[in-house]
Amino acid sequence: MEYLLHILILIGIYVILAESLNLIVGYTGLLSIAHAAFYGIGAYVVALMALKLGSPFVINIICAIIISGLLGGLVGVPSLRIKDHYFIIATFAFQVIAFSILNNWVSFTGGPMGLPGIPQPVIFGWQVSSHLEFLLLVGAFAILVFWLCHRIIKSPFGRVLMAIREDEVFALAAGKNVALYKVAVFVIGSGMAAIAGALYAHYISSIEPISFTVMESIFIISIVIIGGAGSLWGPVVGAVLLVMLPEILRFVGMPSSIAANMRQILYGGLLVAFMMWRPQGLVGKYGFRLEDTKK
């Protein structure tokens, strides 16, 4: 039973990550490879505050959202001047820089050894300790993020994001402040990613930089693209499919030493296949391909 709850918790965390990235990739058309960095920033902020300050979970997660959101705004700024492949490279550079800081600032982040002993969250007197309680907590945040994304997309703000995705020049001609919208969506998306990082840190109770590499960013992108960019349900479908995939490999009796490599091969193969033959993903509405960013 706990194994099933563990899988559901991971699915909930990745739903939050994919929904937040979907705002940037699926609805605004900006391909970012830095999402794992914001995920890691959220995890490290709550971990450091809990371990060094002993501050409550609610305060910690709010600070994580703010800090990650502000850094996300800084990453969004290059999108105002550079586009397409150059912007992807810029986000990749931020991802590498963030990982390097987490991995090498030993006195602050613990370096490669990370931060162990992260305490269980306490929310208004409720100590979240069991798998079921963590699932309820993660599920509540996943529903909240899904609802917020729905409200954003259905609002005038969301319609402008989709206009930028379809034709940025048209959005400018319509009098929209495209620069402001691009930075704002990065602030919102990275802030939401910090929520997933905070939940992950408290759930695992020990974090390491290796959990927030560029490969993790690519995995989150894979969830969005395979599930369906530009659709609220696409990230949910993608998270369920890709989180369950390695577990299916275990059930078919594949040795763990082979399953790890096979999982990466399957992820890469699925990503290439969907980008080539079904760029809108399983349930998506937006066929995200690099040539689409050249409109």
Structure tokens at 136: 């309820």
So what's the pLDDT on residue 295? 43
Tens digits of residue pLDDT in 185-240: 999 999 999 999 999 999 999 999 999 999 899 999 999 988 988 899 999 999 99
Name beta bridge partners: 207: 115
Residue 244 counted as domain residue = no
Q: Minimal CA–CA distance to 97: which of 212, 264, 218, 221?
A: 212
Distances (CA, A) of 216 to 28, 40, 264: 21, 10, 11
Which of these, 48, 2, 43, 4, lies nearest to 244 by C-alpha position?
Answer: 4
H/E element, 181: helix 178-204
* 124 domain residue, yes or no: yes
Q: Which tokens go with 290?
A: 């690099």
Domain that holds residue 80: 2-211
pLDDT tens digits, 21-34 = 999 999 998 999 99
If you average pLDDT over every residue of the chain, what do you get? 88
CA distance 205 to 117: 6
d(CA 141, CA 137): 6
Per-residue pLDDT at 259: 61
Residue 266 maps to a domain: no
Kindly report, residue by residue over 85-123, the tens digit of the pLDDT.
888 899 999 999 999 999 999 999 999 999 999 999 999
In a domain, 14, yes or no: yes
pLDDT for res 289: 53
Distance CA 6, CA 2 (A): 6
Distance of CA 42 to the CA centre of its chain: 11
Identify whether 257 is part of a domain: no
pLDDT attached to residue 69 = 95
pLDDT over 70 at 73, yes or no: yes
Q: Which DSSP symbol is given to 229?
A: T
User: Is 96 domain-assigned?
Assistant: yes
CB 271 within 8 A of CB 214: no
In 3D space, the residue among 66, 64, 13, 20 whose CA is nearest the CA of residue 185 turns out to be 20
Split into its structural domains, the chain has a count of 1
Q: What is the pLDDT of residue 293?
A: 43
Nearest to 266 by CA among 213, 233, 222: 222
Q: Are 103 and 38 in contact (CB under 8 A)?
A: no
Q: Is residue 32 part of a domain?
A: yes
d(CA 144, CA 137): 11
Mean pLDDT of 257-264: 66
Q: How many Cβ atoms are within 10 Å of 177's Cβ, its own excluded?
A: 12
130 lies in some domain = yes
pLDDT of residue 255: 62
